[in-house]
Amino acid sequence: MNLFKSISLVISSLLLIHLGCTAFAVEFQVLRPAKLNIPRNIKKVFIDPDLFKDTDDKLKIKTEVVVALKRKLSDLGRFEAIIGPPRGYDPNREVVGIIQGDIISGGEIDEGQFTEKAECKGSISGLVGAATAKNTTQQGLTVSRRHMLCKLPNLQSKLVESGVTAGLGMLGVTEHPRLDEVIRVYKYKNLSLFAQLNLSFTQLGSERETLAIRADAASFSRHVIDPDTFHNIRESGDNANLIWLWFNITPVAPVINKDIAIVSESNPGSYRGKRYSRIAPDIQNLPDDEKQKIILQLVNNTTAEFLKTISPYKAKIVAEIASGGNDKVEEKLEKGRYQEVKNILKGSKEPDDLYNLGLAYEATASTIEDYEDALYYYSQALDKSPGTRLYAQGIGRMEFQLRVANRLKKQTAN
């Protein structure tokens, strides 16, 4: 029990140091104007799958693109989005919009083999450190000829090993761990997926006019390692320098579908080391459910900017909370209890309180007057404490929001 308490104490201390340097922040949404002023008389938008060219859609994402466009347009509240060809309207009396375009998507997989040096440590701390390294990385563990777990250490594993050693020391136990070093190989796979959308927004009615054209692309890549493919090919025991010499003269860059990094000769009878000729097997592709999540991410990224072009949209704001004022408001700001903050800070003269009061007005703003109030409190805070970065940032956000206010009002007017 004391051993685990010692480990927990080390980790908790590090977390407290980290959290002590972290500023509290509040997150809220504001409405931003569309990049183009689409006529307000366009209420319906048709998304016709037949008008999406998908010859080069290797990932087959057309359905996801159409569904995402409809869902996002509906969520914005600007249009009534309809999947299908334009119909059910009188072109002489009504103006509607239609979205069409090209979809290009694909991907590639690059397979190879990598060589690395790992360390093996005996004793309890070595065992716990190896388990930590495995849990915090993709790597697999290998076992040396002296039956010690081998791993590529990281910061977490080193901290845990230090904690275990310290805990054992408190119990009067001194570790004298044995050390092995190994060179090992593993198979990897670089997976790359990409998508590009070339979309246009056209108004239909008594006249036909293309109002917006935009091309956006997104990509996803991942370096995938199969922990089961890790195998030692060279080992050395305590105080042996041979492995360092071998490692320095052997290619260690990723070797694409080559066996050059494998030691093909055996070295039987050597107490210094042991060689292997086992080659790691190929790894499998990503699971279908994970691949689907990646495709949805690509679709969301490629449609986002197009939608910002044709409709007002919500932007996420993350603003830092001033920590030197009334200590009752920080938690309330984090929980979104902005009206309570206004009541508490009303009439305050402290600069941090004035800033937090402006933050409460900004987070709840729905009119130009609300943003003007927020700007007033931010400016008052900066007047009392010139040069404070936090206060200047608040002023900058409000000046921008007020500059686009008239455009936003025109685009959202009924």
Contact residues for 194 (Cβ-Cβ < 8 A; gap 6+): 105, 106, 107, 217, 218, 219, 220, 298
Instruction: Please state, for a pLDDT cut of 90, what percent of the chain lies above it.
Output: 41
Question: Does position 322 have pLDDT exceeding 80, yes or no?
Answer: yes
Q: How confident is the model at residue 250 (pLDDT cuts 50, 70, 90)?
A: low
**If you average pLDDT over residues 276-291, what whole number do you get?**
57
Grouping H, G, I as helix, E, B as strand and the rest as coil, residue 199 is strand
Cβ(94)–Cβ(59) below 8 Å: no
The predicted pLDDT at position 259 comes to: 38
Cβ(358)–Cβ(338) below 8 Å: no
Token pair for 231: 């195998």
The listed range with the strongest mean pLDDT (72-76, 173-177, 252-256) is 72-76
End-to-end CA separation in angstroms for the chain: 67
Q: Which amino acid is at 237?
A: G
The predicted pLDDT at position 99 comes to: 96
pTM: 0.66
Cβ(211)–Cβ(38) below 8 Å: yes
Question: Does position 141 have pLDDT exceeding 60, yes or no?
Answer: yes
**If you average pLDDT over residues 299-313, what whole number do you get?**
92
The answer to which of 59-63, 88-92, 258-262 has the lowest mean pLDDT is 258-262
The predicted pLDDT at position 224 comes to: 80
**Tokens 């388990």 -> residue:** 131
Q: What is the rounded CA–CA span in Å between residue 241 and residue 97? A: 73
Residue-by-residue DSSP string for 319-335 = EEPPSSS-TTHHHHHHT
Beta strands 80-83; 44-53: pairing state? parallel
Higher per-residue confidence, 284 vs 271: 284
When the candidates are 1.25.40, 3.40.390, 1.10.287, 3.30.70, the CATH number that belongs to 25-29+314-406 is: 1.25.40
Q: Which amino acid is at 315?
A: A
The predicted pLDDT at position 2 comes to: 44
Q: How confident is the model at residue 145 (pLDDT cuts 50, 70, 90)?
A: confident
Q: How confident is the model at residue 286 (pLDDT cuts 50, 70, 90)?
A: low
The predicted pLDDT at position 36 comes to: 92
The answer to which of 77-81, 186-190, 339-343 has the lowest mean pLDDT is 186-190
The predicted pLDDT at position 255 comes to: 45
Angle value at C-alpha 146, between 141 and 148, nearest 5 degrees: 30
Grouping H, G, I as helix, E, B as strand and the rest as coil, residue 282 is coil
For 63-82, give one letter per residue: b (16+ CB within 10 A) or e: ebbbebbbebbeebebbebb
Residue-by-residue DSSP string for 17-85 = HHHHTPPPEEEEEEEE--SS---TT--EEEEEEEEEE-TTBTT--HHHHHHHHHHHHHHHTS-EEEESS
Q: Which amino acid is at 334?
A: E
**If you average pLDDT over residues 273-285, what whole number do you get?**
47
**Intervals of CATH 1.25.40 along the chain:** 25-29+314-406
The predicted pLDDT at position 247 comes to: 54
Token pair for 252: 């260690």
The predicted pLDDT at position 94 comes to: 93
What values do phi and psi take at 294, rounded to 5?
-65, -40
